[in-house]
Amino acid sequence: MRVSYQWLAELVDLSSLEKSGKGPQALADLLTARGLEVEAVDRLDKGFEKVVSVQILKKEKHPQADRLSLCTVTLGSGDPLEIVCGAQNMKEGDKVCLAQVGAELPNGMKIAQGKIRGVTSNGMLCSESELGLAKESEGILILPPSTALGQPLAKILGRDDTILTLKLTANRGDCLGHYGLAREVAGALGVQPKAGQAAALDFSKPFAKSPIQIKLEAGDLAPQFLGVSMEGVKIGPSPAWVVKRLEAIGSRSINNVVDATNLLMFELGHPVHAYDADRIEGAVIGVRQGQAGEKIPLLDATEVTLKGGELTIFDGKKTIGLAGVMGGGNSEVSDGTTKIFLECAEFHASTVRKCATAHQKRTEASHRFERGIDPEGIDFAISRLTALVTELAGGKVVGIVDARLPSRALASRASRQKVLSVSKAFLNDYLGTKLSDAELKAALKQCQCEVTEAGAQWKVAVPSYRLDLSIPEDLTEEVARSIGYDKIPATIPALTSTPKPQNLSQSPLAALEKMKDMLMDAGFYEAVNLGFTSRAWLKEFGMSSSVSVLNPLSEEHEVMVPSLIPGLIKNALNNQRHHFSADPQAIRLFEIRPTFSATEKIESKSEMQTTVVEKWKVSLVMIGPRGTGALKADQAAVDFFDLKAVLEQVFETFGGKAIRLQPYKSAPGAAGAYAGLLHPGQAVEVVAGNRAAGVAGMLHPKLERALKFRNPVWIAELDWEAIQGIGKPATEPRAYKSWSEFPPMERDFAVLLDDSVTAEKMVSVALKAGKPLAKAVRVFDVYRGSQVAAGKVSLAVRVTFSEEGRSLKEEETEAASRQIVDAWKREIGAELRG
Amino acid sequence: MSNLFSQLDGIGAKALEQIEGASDLATLELVRVSVLGKKGALSEVLKGLGSASAEDRPKIGAAANDWKRKIEEALEKKKGGLEDQALETRLASERIDISLPSRGLHKGALHPITQTTRRIIQTLGRLGFDIATGPEVETEFLNFEAVNIPKDHPARDMQDTFFMGPGVVLRTHTSAIQMRAMRNQKWPVRILCPGAVYRCDSDATHSPMFHQIEGLWVDKKVSMSDLVGVLEFFAKEMFGSSTKIRLRPSFFPFVEPGAEVDVSWGKDRWLEVLGAGMVHPRLFEMAGYPAGEAQGFAFGMGIERIAMLLHGIDDLRLMYQGDVRFLKQF
């Protein structure tokens, strides 16, 4: 909200702030310290500080330049000045604007004393465009002959005000007018605010019968409605001070009657409306809830179709406005209007908000009604409005009328005084302060809250316009605002229960954080991607999302991610894009974040549960050289077994032996969302216990090509819940196991296998056959080629034999070895190579 | 007889001379074998011992042993010298250019958001805070109504919301976690709630997803001065011991009184980094706590904002691009 300093100064004595010499800034600081944050303080005369009115005494040709003139000007007093000027539209006797030496004009031009073609110029005569008053202009600005000389231009233009831009919080609707702010400032400065002049209209004794009657048909949604009928009003332009005031706060002048309603709103914060009384049919005006499909033409020349339930204003024949939002185009005041009907009413806050939001008509009026207006201030508001209209447009009041529900009856106004009960000890205990009774009362008084009863339990009368004060805690804030938040001491709260360990070890995040550390140690950088993405990008990977955003910012953010892989792939591509070297680029990224899915309609199942399922995934992408060394020998590209090494590291820590890798089935449906994502011959499915726990392998070469990757891309995505639930929690202490002090024996074999038999199978056969002495079976070389038949592979295998507590005898090892070799032959058709 | 003695002396002297002259270990070994070997010169001489008189035999034997010892000593000494020399040669030949590039290990790093979150948790953990988490897709009830932001209330404008379905939103703040925690646990509650949050806002300084961490301390007697003390501790631990904090009144529906918190930055700047206040009694009501029994404070901050301050990052968008040029710096 834009606030005029001059306007505010009329409503509250700011002289104590002005003593400091910087009134507006001091005011801004005061407001900010009270929770009414001032975002900016702008002088309207910015750029005009050294521009004054002068009269041209003499105009001659520049002695050295035909196109320039040399003017002698006067400020009305002091020595005349010589100014060189390029324009020709002025004549002797004209009053013009002089930018004096030192001026910095709105367009950024700095004025210095200088010689132009040998003649000293003591400033510059300005055009409208140079002054920022017009986009384009020809010649310099000629001021009216009546202009006084030596006057600052800001004053001539009425731009001598300073504007404070406030960022008001939603709870302080009472400050959405200059008078409301004046009240707040007055409290802080210990002075009284000065309300605008108005002859009070007494609705309890109407002095003239209103020609228009009011109907309240919306119950509590519109509990009171006051009207004033005026005749003999003369519509016309507003006087200069009104135009200046409205423009200063970012509004604009329409005509004197509409301006009066706007002035009233910006003064008291209460939106009001003026109707052309001749256009109200049936001598009646009322408020009711509209019907769905009903159409209303509005002031802004648009038409809205109601959704039903909106508060509308109607007359005997038609609907003439959206209550609290905007008046109708069929009843507005126009040039020929002479009879008007002024409305000042109370409309239900959230109903107005719903209407303004639904029809995208967020207006100054709806903004104020949403935040709530002073229900008891309505009589003064319409009295003041009547005074303003009379002042600006003449006319006389021919009738006043009010309609109020019992909850707003005039007679019971005193009984509606809101009184909060609070113990004075509570005020201090809550804030942690030690304020005396007098200090507490003074603090509350600053906010116009009167303590009406002494003793330990206080009764605090709260002003009707402070809709935000309803519980004792609200009063603690008023005390704190008044004394200043900086007066609250700093203490450390007492511990009343034993804190959990600080190192995260008990928290739900602990294991995830350990996983992050592990992947970092494995040489991966952590990426963080947004939780949403586009359908098109998912489609590249044969994926789709079951969770959409109903109001996305753009296509980029339309659905929630079902997998972290597409995001990491995008990251990898970004990195590849800025890699310009012939050196191979290493990209190793991981991400640990939730993914989203839903198998039923997205809705809330209870207060605490939705149908959307969040699964945390641990995902990684790996591209490029195995090492980071610059020498060629270190730059071999990673392959499946590098990826497998990382996975084994993870499983070792998190899942134990219950996690297995199985061949990846690329058929649709086989690997769920990951079908078609991976190279069918160089990928695995991860199985934890009997649960699918993810996939790992080479990004399908088709995708690699389509996405223009320069190197094979290795990816993995693990289901966090599946892998972490399977082993002992990674954060729990591990049990110690002793080892044999006796040296084991090793035997090496060259085993010739069918290509279709996996190494894993060969190993498991050996371990089983070699029981109990064979403790480990390890492949240490793989050979395919001219020395073995096609379709065969030769594996070099080392078997380790040992026994707890003793050395093995040669014969025992031999016997176990024979059993292994026999089993190989019998079970998988494997031969030893000669 | 004297013949044998002079033979021994001759062999000995020659051997010593040959040892001295040997230029490498192989030559030295040849010398050893030719003198001390089974068929060496010394053994050959001793084979003639049988023809010596019984009286001379021990003397000759002693003389032979004497030579043997001398020769062995000389061999040993020469061997040591030659070995040292051979090592020197090897060392010289094995010299490498240590200025060539290393083989290199992959270095990883945690995202600055993770690092900052941990830093905050570790700092406040010292005061006794535990961690609590919740889902990113949240019920509208927990995100709004339960934390005192009713439907059709202007306070909803403070947080432009992504909607997913009836009653389902992407959480706009981590305050929803607080309510989950309070519904599961009676006071004392001391938790930090970190997590990603979402708002319909995207420009150079706003991302539609960002991270927050909120603190909640609820007990029987917790006052606003406790909030000030905790925030002061936090600011000094995070930003340096000379850091000051400044509270300004503000409005957040879930607290009363509410405050914006600035921290001093450099000589004369204040940066707004936190929102805070005393937990609004409406939240206790929503949590099912009996009226008037619990009091508490809450505070929240944007993790990216803190991370940008700590690391001097000037562009928020860098956080979400997975750009290694960025990630490797932390």
State whether residue A418 sits within 8 Å of chain B by CB: no
Q: Is residue A741 very low, low, confident or very high in pLDDT (cuts 50, 70, 90)?
A: confident
B223·A606 Cβ contact <8 A: no
Q: A40 burial class (0-12, 13-18, 19+ CB within 10 angstroms)?
A: exposed
Whether A386 contacts A394, CB under 8 Å: no
State whether residue B310 sits within 8 Å of chain A by CB: no
Chain B residues inside the 8 Å CB shell of A523: 105-108
State whether residue B234 sits within 8 Å of chain A by CB: no
Q: Which portions of chain B are predicted below pLDDT 50?
A: none
Instruction: Quote the strand ranges of A743-805, DSSP E.
Output: 745-754, 774-783, 792-801
Q: Is residue A631 very low, low, confident or very high in pLDDT (cuts 50, 70, 90)?
A: confident
Facing residue for A528 by CB, picked from B113, B129, B325: B113
Q: Which of A136, A114, A382 is nearest to A265 (CA)?
A: A382
pLDDT at A346: 96
Q: Is the dihedral of CA B240, B241, B243, B245 positive or negative?
A: positive
Residue A52, pLDDT above cutoff 70: yes
B224·A480 Cβ contact <8 A: yes
Q: Which of A170, A494, A477 is nearest to B277 (CA)?
A: A477
Mutant choice from B99, B251, B254, B280 vs A, greatest count of A C-beta within 10 A:
B251
Each residue of A70-91: b (16+ CB within 10 Å) or e?
Answer: bbbbbbeeeeebbbbbebeebe
**pLDDT tens digit sequence for A472-503:** 999 999 999 999 999 999 999 999 888 876 55
- C-alpha B191/C-alpha A342 separation (Å) is 55
**pLDDT tens digit sequence for A590-608:** 999 999 999 999 999 999 9
Q: Can you tell me the ipTM of this complex?
A: 0.85
Facing residue for A474 by CB, picked from B122, B136, B256: B256
State whether residue B260 sits within 8 Å of chain A by CB: yes
**Distances B20 to A346, A715, A761, B26 between C-alpha atoms, Å:** 122, 69, 65, 14
How far off is chain B from A479, nearest CA to CA, in Å?
10
Mutant choice from A31, A466, A512, A610 vs B, greatest count of B C-beta within 10 A:
A610
Residue A834, pLDDT above cutoff 80: no
Measured in degrees and rounded to the nearest 5, phi and psi for residue A231 equal: -125, 160
Q: Is residue A726 very low, low, confident or very high in pLDDT (cuts 50, 70, 90)?
A: low
Q: In sequence order, what are the beta bridge partners of A124?
A: A99
A532·B251 Cβ contact <8 A: no
Measured in degrees and rounded to the nearest 5, phi and psi for residue A208 equal: -150, 140
State whether residue B163 sits within 8 Å of chain A by CB: yes
**pLDDT tens digit sequence for A225-281:** 999 999 999 999 999 899 989 999 999 999 999 999 999 999 999 999 999 999 999
A491·B320 Cβ contact <8 A: no
Mutant choice from B121, B221, B231, B256 vs A, greatest count of A C-beta within 10 A:
B256
State whether residue A742 sits within 8 Å of chain B by CB: no
**pLDDT tens digit sequence for A653-664:** 776 677 888 888
- Report helix, strand or coil for B198: strand
Residue A634, pLDDT above cutoff 60: yes
- C-alpha B193/C-alpha B218 separation (Å) is 14
State whether residue A587 sits within 8 Å of chain B by CB: yes
A492·B226 Cβ contact <8 A: yes
State whether residue B207 sits within 8 Å of chain A by CB: yes
Report how far Cα A104 is from the mean position of its chain's Cα atoms.
36
Q: What is the mean pLDDT of residues A613-623?
A: 95
Angle at B327 between CA B323 and CA B330, to 5 degrees: 165
Residues 6+ apart with CB under 8 A from B206: B199, B316
How far off is chain A from B23, nearest CA to CA, in Å?
40
Chain A residues inside the 8 Å CB shell of B250: 35, 37, 169
Facing residue for B139 by CB, picked from A371, A493, A607: A607
Amino acid identity of B122?
Answer: Q
The two tokens of residue B166 are 């009836």
- C-alpha A222/C-alpha A605 separation (Å) is 35
Residue A670, pLDDT above cutoff 50: no
Chain A residues inside the 8 Å CB shell of B100: 631
Mutant choice from B200, B316, B324, B327 vs A, greatest count of A C-beta within 10 A:
B324
pLDDT at B7: 84
pLDDT at A727: 64
B251·A170 Cβ contact <8 A: yes
User: What are the structural domains of chain A?
Assistant: 2-44+161-189 (3.30.56.10), 51-156 (2.40.50.140), 213-413 (3.50.40.10), 417-487 (3.30.56.10), 510-602+609-724 (3.30.930.10), 745-832 (3.30.70.380)
pLDDT at A552: 92
Please state, rounded to an integer, the average pLDDT across all residues of chain A: 90
pLDDT at A198: 86
Measured in degrees and rounded to the nearest 5, phi and psi for residue A364 equal: -55, -40
**pLDDT tens digit sequence for A410-422:** 889 889 999 999 9
How far off is chain B from A443, nearest CA to CA, in Å?
15
A499·B320 Cβ contact <8 A: no
State whether residue B105 sits within 8 Å of chain A by CB: yes
How far off is chain B from A468, nearest CA to CA, in Å?
11
Measured in degrees and rounded to the nearest 5, phi and psi for residue A653 equal: -80, -40
Chain A residues inside the 8 Å CB shell of B130: 499-500, 506-507
Q: Is residue A506 very low, low, confident or very high in pLDDT (cuts 50, 70, 90)?
A: low
Whether A17 contacts A30, CB under 8 Å: yes
Neighbours of A794 (CB within 10 A): 19
**pLDDT tens digit sequence for A761-795:** 999 999 999 999 999 999 999 998 888 888 899 99
Q: A624 burial class (0-12, 13-18, 19+ CB within 10 angstroms)?
A: buried
A604·B167 Cβ contact <8 A: yes
- C-alpha B128/C-alpha B233 separation (Å) is 13
B137·A481 Cβ contact <8 A: no
Mutant choice from A607, A631, A642, A715 vs B, greatest count of B C-beta within 10 A:
A607
State whether residue A611 sits within 8 Å of chain B by CB: yes
Q: Which of A23-32, A321-330, A381-390, B50-59 has the lowest mean pLDDT?
A: B50-59
State whether residue B58 sits within 8 Å of chain A by CB: no
Q: Is the pTM of this model over 0.80?
A: yes
Chain A residues inside the 8 Å CB shell of B200: 551, 553
A–B: how many Cβ contacts below 8 A?
Answer: 305
State whether residue A606 sits within 8 Å of chain B by CB: yes
Facing residue for B110 by CB, picked from A370, A520, A606: A520
B168·A612 Cβ contact <8 A: yes
